């Protein structure tokens, strides 16, 4: 059988790097779209850089996306690139719409015109549920996004479904709940906590400044979630799936668990709450029902909450120690 070819947009991000690793273990030829930066930002993929091929391109630039699809001739396209930080979507709402919403249409257009037989994965998000209408959330729960990011993701979700229905393409949308890892960006709450707790342990910091401690999220491990993306494209037909652990915890729970890893019980004395970190509109409570994915794809998470927090804190301690040598 000929070697399968995959194109990943967002390969330098958390999920892109885990997905590229995963596809290499499946013997794929992996291509990644990367945008121009003044200094290289290949930190997450440097260990596999010689095994993948990077193609310059940007979600704002139709021609570069079309060329990347023409050059890579992919059997599978994973559209992971986006402005993915919810907080930034209020300060840069138009850019978020350009990247996270219209960017999807640009990639879909390239596929439709150049490689319509390719299978396409769209990175949808639990942020589309926003002010939730039911608990837990599943594939038929109505959307009520609460940020410009969430609104842009709803557009991306529906344009993907529209292209599937209009042109009979193999397009799936994965509605993924929060997934974290030692490669999570430092601005997201889990990594901000694990990294600062590691610093406190090493006496490089003395407090964590956080916003809303009461928000609850269904947090899983990114390594598990990229496998679900691949499984969706291996089915006989295209469909949409929720991917989640089915358990949620508050930001405060995450903080407590992280301090537990370094043996600190009275964690509250290290927390400073800043009103500036509260969002104009909050998503208070998310919990996913992934029973469809478990039944149809045979997918299930392998890393639980306690293990995830430990993995992140221990990795940050190791990283900080190595950096201070
Ligand atoms: P991430 O770490 O923020 O990575 C985003 C990627 O998109 C990076 O590679 C980034 O490139 C790239 N990108 C951003 N703007 C671009 C542009 N204009 N042109 C080309 N590339 C661009 O995000 P992630 O956590 O891996 O998430 C992957 C996808 O899943 C995103 O679409 C996100 O919205 C979605 N999602 C994430 C979660 C989650 O919990 N992680 C849950 C649901 C859905 P640079 O490295 O150059 O910045
Ligand atoms: O916030 C609260 C904050 O930024 C989680 C993205 O991957 O998952 C992610 O979006 C919660 C929110 O992730 C701080 O108010 C408190 O309630 O880690 P986050 P997110 O907004 O859930 C979804 C599924 C995606 O699709 C997104 O791309 O934590 N919070 N204090 C804080 N959040 C941050 N970032 N920083 C704080 O200091």
Minimum CA distance residue for ligand 2 atom 27: 84
Residues 282 and 137 in one domain: no
> If you measure from the C-alpha of residue 216 to the centroid of ligand 2, how many angstroms do you get, rounded to a whole number?
10
Question: Which pLDDT tens digit goes with each residue over 295-318?
Answer: 999 999 999 999 999 999 999 999
Residues 193 and 68 in one domain: no
Tokens 């509250």 locate to 268
CA distance 10 to 156: 15
What CATH number corresponds to the domain at position 149?
Answer: 3.40.50.720
What CATH number corresponds to the domain at position 258?
Answer: 3.90.25.10
Residues lining ligand 2, Cβ inside 6 A: 84, 86-87, 125-127, 177-178, 187-190, 192, 210-212, 215, 217, 251, 277, 279, 282-283
Question: Which pLDDT tens digit goes with each residue over 285-296?
Answer: 999 999 999 999
Tokens of 71: 């050059």
Neighbours of 4 (CB within 10 A): 14
Tokens of 226: 């990229």
Residues 227 and 265 in one domain: no
Handedness of CA 257, 263, 266, 269 (dihedral sign): negative
Question: Mind telling me the catalytic residues?
Answer: 125, 127, 149
Give the start-end residues of each E strand in the chain. 5-9, 29-34, 53-56, 76-79, 119-125, 171-176, 179-180, 208-210, 216-217, 220-221, 240-243, 249-250, 271-273
Tokens of 189: 């709450």
Q: Which of 84, 104, 156, 190 to mutate to test the pocket of ligand 1 (most atoms within 8 A of CB)?
A: 84
Residues 224 and 191 in one domain: no
Would you say residue 30 lies in a domain?
Answer: yes
Residues lining ligand 1, Cβ inside 6 A: 9-10, 12-16, 33, 35, 37, 41, 58-60, 80-84, 99, 123, 125, 176, 178-179, 185
CA distance 167 to 161: 10
Closest Cα to residue 284, out of 227, 223, 213, 222?
Answer: 213
> If you measure from the C-alpha of residue 223 to the centroid of ligand 2, how many angstroms do you get, rounded to a whole number?
19
Minimum CA distance residue for ligand 2 atom 32: 189
Question: Which pLDDT tens digit goes with each residue over 254-285?
Answer: 999 999 999 999 999 999 999 999 999 999 99
Question: Which pLDDT tens digit goes with each residue over 190-204?
Answer: 999 999 999 999 999
Q: Which of 124, 179, 211 to mutate to test the pocket of ligand 2 (most atoms within 8 A of CB)?
A: 211
Q: Can you give the residue range of the structural domain that contains 81?
A: 5-179+219-243
> If you measure from the C-alpha of residue 268 to the centroid of ligand 1, how many angstroms do you get, rounded to a whole number?
32
pTM over 0.75: yes
Distance of CA 217 to the CA centre of its chain: 14
Residues 60 and 173 in one domain: yes
Compute φ and ψ for 165, nearest 5 degrees: -75, -35
Please compute the mean of the pLDDT values over residues 117-136 and round it to a whole number: 98
In whole numbers, what is the pLDDT of the chain averaged over residues? 98
Please compute the mean of the pLDDT values over residues 26-49 and round it to a whole number: 97
> If you measure from the C-alpha of residue 86 to the centroid of ligand 2, how many angstroms do you get, rounded to a whole number?
7
Tokens of 224: 């598990």
> If you measure from the C-alpha of residue 99 to the centroid of ligand 1, how many angstroms do you get, rounded to a whole number?
10
Q: Identify the pLDDT of residue 113.
A: 98
Residues 104 and 198 in one domain: no
pLDDT at 1 over 90: no
Question: Which pLDDT tens digit goes with each residue over 199-229?
Answer: 999 999 999 999 999 999 999 999 999 999 9
The total of structural domains in the chain comes to 2
Minimum CA distance residue for ligand 1 atom 6: 10
DSSP 109-134: HHHHHH-TTSEEEEEEEGGGT-S-SS
CA distance 112 to 279: 38
Atom index in ligand 1 nearest the CA of residue 124 equals: 44
CA distance 54 to 146: 34
Distances from the Cα of 265 to the Cα of 71, 215, 255, 262, 285, angstroms = 55, 21, 11, 9, 26
CA distance 28 to 48: 13
């Amino acid at each position: 059988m000929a070697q399968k070819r995959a194109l990943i947009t967002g390969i330098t991000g958390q999920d892109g790097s885990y997905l590229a690793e995963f596809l290499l273990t499946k013997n794929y030829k992996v291509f990644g779209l990367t945008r121009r930066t003044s200094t290289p930002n290949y930190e997450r993929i440097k260990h596999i850089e010689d095994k993948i091929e990077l193609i310059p391109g940007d979600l704002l630039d139709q021609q570069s996306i079309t060329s990347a699809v023409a050059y890579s001739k992919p059997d599978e396209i994973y559209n992971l690139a986006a402005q993915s930080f919810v907080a930034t979507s209020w300060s840069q709402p138009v850019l978020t719409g350009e990247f996270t919403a219209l960017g999807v249409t640009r990639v879909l257009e390239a596929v439709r015109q150049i490689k319509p037989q390719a299978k396409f994965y769209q990175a949808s998000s639990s942020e589309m549920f926003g002010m939730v209408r039911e608990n837990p959330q599943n594939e038929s729960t109505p959307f009520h996004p609460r940020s410009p990011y969430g609104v842009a993701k709803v557009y991306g979700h529906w344009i993907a479904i529209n292209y599937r229905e209009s042109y009979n393409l193999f397009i799936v949308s994965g509605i993924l709940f929060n997934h974290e890892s030692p490669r999570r960006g430092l601005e997201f709450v889990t990594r901000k906590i694990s990294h600062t707790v590691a610093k406190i342990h090493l006496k490089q910091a003395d407090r964590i400044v956080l916003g809303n401690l009461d928000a609850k999220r269904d947090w899983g491990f990114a390594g598990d979630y990229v496998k679900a993306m691949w499984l969706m494209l291996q089915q006989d037909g295209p469909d949409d799936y929720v991917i989640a652990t089915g358990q949620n915890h508050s930001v405060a729970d995450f903080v407590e668990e992280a301090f537990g890893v370094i043996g600190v019980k009275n964690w509250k004395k290290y927390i400073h709450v800043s009103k500036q970190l509260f969002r104009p509109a909050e998503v208070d409570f998310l919990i996913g029902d992934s029973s469809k994915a478990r039944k149809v794809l045979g997918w299930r998470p392998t890393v639980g909450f306690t293990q995830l927090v430990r993995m992140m804190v221990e990795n940050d301690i190791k990283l900080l120690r190595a950096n201070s040598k």
